Structure 1
Amino acid sequence: MLKHWPPLNALRGFEAAARLGSFHQAAQELHLTQSAISQQIRSLETFLEQPLFYRSGRSVTLTDAGHDLRSTTQSLLQQLAVGIRRLEQYRKPNQLVVNTSPAFARHWLLPRLGEFNRLHPEVDLWLFTSFEPPDMTTQTIDVTIRDDLSAQAECSYLELYSDQLYPACHPSLLEQPQALRTTLHGEREMDWSHWVVEGGTDVGQRNNGLNFSDPGLLLDAACAGHGIALVSQLLAQQARAQGQLQPLCEQSVRGPTWAWLVHRDSEGSSLTRSFCSWLHNALEQAGQA
């Protein structure tokens, strides 16, 4: 990495002159004098120890090195402009940052976000997903909802929903003999060993099959007819209502507990209260369904 960098203004002046093919037009675009543009480019050539333009009277053309630097500089300035513009999202006045797992976001929260937006159009919701629980003390997150949470400093912790798990598959697989059904394996409670330990009946599950670290992908695979899976009652509600899943038996076993962490700096915000109230009511309705 370079220990010293050329001034950004010199790079901007060079890029404009290279793109427009004129020091005069570059000066007009950047609201500078032509002399200032010339000085910027001379300082850049001194820094690089090679010419960037051929000068012939008022006409200028790029050298080979100039062509190379033009491509690099345009890419650099474009990325910088995009990065700076992206920072605007951090100062939106009504922004609420919500963290959850990809599975919960895709299978439960996303289908209901339209309702939340209709009820609370004033909330500028930023949905941030991650496979691991965030550190609320170091990340800018107002609320996190997950099934793998424990209490954290500077946050309020509340258990919201006690999930249940049951074996299911796409209805088309019920026509196949048990011996021909692929077994889909998940992690933690979605592993079939949890079903066995909790006293679940034999539904034809086998030790081999397809394995998934993401419970959302596990559910997607079951809905697509790839095999039988141990699925979350909460996450599978929509798929079951749409006829994509059929339980293999009436039994269910204890699943994970969904909880939230609300950062104490955000607790008093009307945006946070609106989201938490809506979420609490939606999960209560899910438990009654």
Structure 2
Amino acid sequence: MFAKLPLTALRGFESAARLGSFKAAAQELNVSPAAISHQVKSLEAFLGVRLFERTSQSVRLSADGERLQPFMHRALLDIQHGLQVLSPPCAAQSLVVSTTPAFASLWLIPRLGDFHRLHPEIDVRLHSSNEVVDLRRDASIDLAIRALFTPDPQLFEQPLLDEYFGVYCRPGWQPPATGSPVELIDVPWLSSAKAEVDWPAWCAKAEALGWLENARFRRYDEEQHALQAAIAGHGLALASNVLVAEAVARGELVDYRPEVHLAGARYTVVCVPGRERQVAVRGFSEWLLGQSNG
């Protein structure tokens, strides 16, 4: 049934398509760039279509290549999964999770001990960056946790947490007298690309525009630093309910005006289609969903 399938060429194509480079594919597969080029040309001859558009400087997928790439990636993932099923039960499984430094430190890591207890056979490694990783090209990342406003049709997605922004302060904080300055902690919220999340927007909704006239702003570049400043009593923080959840649960911060919120994104678990069926990915995703509902 499969005697005529050019498996070596298909693997070379998948790597080159995912990485966007014959040279990078050659490094991944430990062969020469010329070998990858030959494999791709032989596959193009086999199919009778051009899979890459080539220039003197680079290669990029053709329309037919774009159609073939997701099928090949899923197929190779299924093969890899099938081999893992037969691995010895004691063999450790590695899982690489990508997310932002703020989500990792403020939400994920405080809960991660529970996952280690339930799944000691899975070694979770965190890749934390504010840059969005292209999961279709970087096969080293198994799944990502992202704050999204719109779905990505090329990825498998599972909703995790709905986000909104409110103002948080230490318990017992009282607003200053009229005309007195108020300390406002300011940070650029990276998840708010399509929503206006800043002090003017919140003050307008809370009918507290007078605060802006005499505000003393404490500015930070990182969300976790802003929340630490609020916990230390350095002012009010406009913060994500997701990232502030642990501090609220510990009683370190409270929602100053619970009825006044600004819309945020939705935290979502995403992976390349097919990877959601892998044992480690499925186990971690199910655990995340349990944590979000707990």
Contact 1:164-1:252 within 8 A present in 2 as well: no
Q: TM-score, normalised by structure 2?
A: 0.58
Q: Which residue in 2 is equivalent to 1:183?
A: 184
* 1:248 lines up with 2:256 in the alignment: yes
Contact 1:168 1:229 in 2 (8 A): yes
How much has 1:108 moved relative to structure 2? 0.8
CA deviation vs aligned residue, 1:228-276 (integer Å, no higher than 9, x gap): 1112222212211222112222323122221121122522211000000
- Does structure 1 residue 146 correspond to structure 2 residue 146? yes
Q: Residues 216, 255 of structure 1: CA spacing in aligned structure 2 closer, same or farther, 3 A cutoff?
A: same
* 1:200 aligns to 2:206 (yes or no): yes
How far off is 1:223 after superposition? 1.1
Residue 268 (structure 1) aligns with: 277
Deviating more after overlay: 148-157 vs 126-135: 148-157
CA, structure 1 residues 281+167, in 2 after alignment: closer, same or farther (shift >3 Å)? same
Aligned match for 2:225, one of 199, 217, 220: 217
Alignment-mate amino acid for residue 144 of structure 1: A
Q: Is the 8 A contact 1:203 1:248 kept in 2?
A: no
Structure 1 portions without partners, runs of 5+: 1-91
State the identity as a percent.
Answer: 30
Contact in 2 for aligned 1:167/1:231 (Cα 8 Å): yes
Superposed displacement of residue 227, structure 1:
0.9
Partner of 1:84: none
Give matches, 1:90-105, under 5 Å.
Answer: 94-105=93-104
Structure with the bigger RCO (C-alpha within 8 Å, sep 6+) is 2
Q: Distance in 2 between matches of 1:200 and 1:172?
A: 19
Greater C-alpha Rg: 1
Tell me: CA distance 1:238–1:93, structure 2 relative to 1, closer, same or farther (3 Å): closer
Whole-Å Cα distance in 2 between the matches of residues 205 and 138 of structure 1? 47
Three-state SS of the structure 2 residue aligned to 1:183 is strand
User: For the Cα contact (< 8 Å) 1:100–1:144, is it kept in 2?
Assistant: yes
In the alignment, what sits opposite 1:164? 164
SS of 2:183's partner is coil
Larger helix proportion, structure 1 or 2?
1
Moved more, 254-263 or 165-174: 165-174
Cα offset for 1:201?
3.8
5+ residue gaps, structure 2: 1-90
